Structure 1
Amino acid sequence: MPEFIKTRITADGRDGYPVEPNRYRLVVARACPWANRTVIVRRLLGLEDVISMGMCGPTHDERSWTFDLDPGGVDPVLRIPRIQEAYFARFPGYEHGITVPAIVDVPTGQVVTNDYAQITLDFSLEWKAFHRDGAPDLYPAALRAEIDEVNELVYKDINSGVYRCGFATSQEVYDKGYDRLFARLDWLTDRLATQRYLVGDTITEADIRLFTTLVRFDSVYHGHFKVNRNKLSELPVLWAYARDLFHTPGFGDTIDFPQIKEHYYKVHTNINPTQIVPQGPDLANWHDPHGREALGGSPFGEGTPPAPPKPAEAVPAGHTA
């Protein structure tokens, strides 16, 4: 039984799941940074009309994420209260993490994949026939080796690095994770001081993977995970870079800060047993000008911005910065 379900949805259907409009449902939670990536990529590429999206609430118990935001606590398409049921439909008694993002085959009700790293790449490569007009190339062939290299470093030291610190049960593990995290953030500062985006002069998969950690840094990771050498807002280059992306359609308008905070502070009772959710920080500064246009580049290259989110998928009023 796999820890991560590596089955892929491909144009040729070689794993038994061909690309097919309106067959699959992407299950996410706004609180989760790994799921947030898939929400952004789906939106940037204009796949909303061919891949539906189910939204879990910000909190869950030890069993799985639940659809408590939906009427009756049941997903209106899958007709289940917990994503766990889609996992069990394919792998009875699935013993590993019941995670989001996950893609479910609607006709069978079975989970297809929860391989978050591959899902977004396949959205770019395998679903190309269904991209919107003007969709950006988030994984350009000429830059893939460099994107992969940057992604690996960011994954090890930053995406996973904040969790390594937050869930550390020894001082030694915490100290090593802390040092790796901030060394990599300093490396990113040097890299981004003279270029607008991580790889090339347009937004790529690399920027999306970094953004979903950076946008949670001050609200959650700095305090909750004890990564407190600096706030993101105290690192001028990275702070401006994160705001640049936040202001870009498809990025900031996917962020629900109240759900993010509720998830981390209420679910991780081993770290925060009182489940008290802090009121701060003030989020108004996310709207400050970033000035990164002076570095050149263009968010979508020869493409265009995505349309506004559909009303049913929009972040509730007052939940963004």
Structure 2
Amino acid sequence: MNLSIVIPLLNEEESITELYHWIAQVMQSNGFLYEVIFIDDGSTDKSWEIIEALAAQNTQVKAIRFLRNFGKSQALHAGFAMAQGDVVITMDADLQDSPEEIPELYKMITEAGFDLVSGWKKKRYDSIVSKNLPSKLFNFAARRTSGVRLHDFNCGLKAYRNDVIKTIEVTGEMHRYIPVLAKNAGFDAIGEKVVLHQARKYGTTKFGAERFVRGFLDLITIWFLSRFGKRPMHLFGAWGAIMLFVGFCFALYLGIDKLFINPSGRLITERPQFYIALTAMILGSQLFLAGFLGELLLRTKKDNANYIVKEQRNFKQ
């Protein structure tokens, strides 16, 4: 199979049929063997019924239905696990991503040798205040912290070699930073392609203002994982050792001063240096313990993808 097209969706009943026929037209005109995997992330409209109707007429359609809304990252994780194509394409279901981009993305993976190609919506039709400006800020920060030189980390239209998506784990809210996860896993051939971005034709966006806070927190997480994800003791242990050393130095000073320099002076517990020493040693111990526990967790890590599949069908006739 040449292509697996993974499409996470939530309440997109108006666009699913149009999107599938558009994809099918592009696939047939290029002679691709393909599958389209819809992941219904807990839709409350008729999205699942429409997918079932499409599957009854098209053996290329496969689908996963979640018990409730778990988020885009979990939807992609499930779709990646199901994908069989040599090249895996992800795209949104709202018709803002054009299937016409797929053949060129496929060539960049199979002929140009990229592990991952990310779309770049250079010209966007979103609100400047609610999407464009925050997106530019997050992309700038992501480039600086991760070292991956992409203009648009959060573009839904991406292409992957199959072994890339079988290696990385997309959980939490990490779908925004899949290229960084791929780089951390050793896939350095990451490319970018300017893609067409279309104005939303149906419905409204499913992401609210909370995505700004989540994006910022995810950025901190991805920075930490990039630098210390495989060696947390190097961060927590180092700071813990520094704090313990500072606390020990203050305690040593207080002890020498009380015993040899000024034995008739104030009690040690009446001096501010005592509380500095006590606080530093407590914080140092906690940081050191956090690093130690992090190392233990890494060695006992298990797959804990946070989603529940309600239905999964290959729709074989």
TM-score, normalisation: structure 2: 0.24
Greater percentage in strand: 2
Greater percentage in helix: 2
Please say which structure displays the higher CA radius of gyration: 2
TM-score, normalisation: structure 1: 0.24
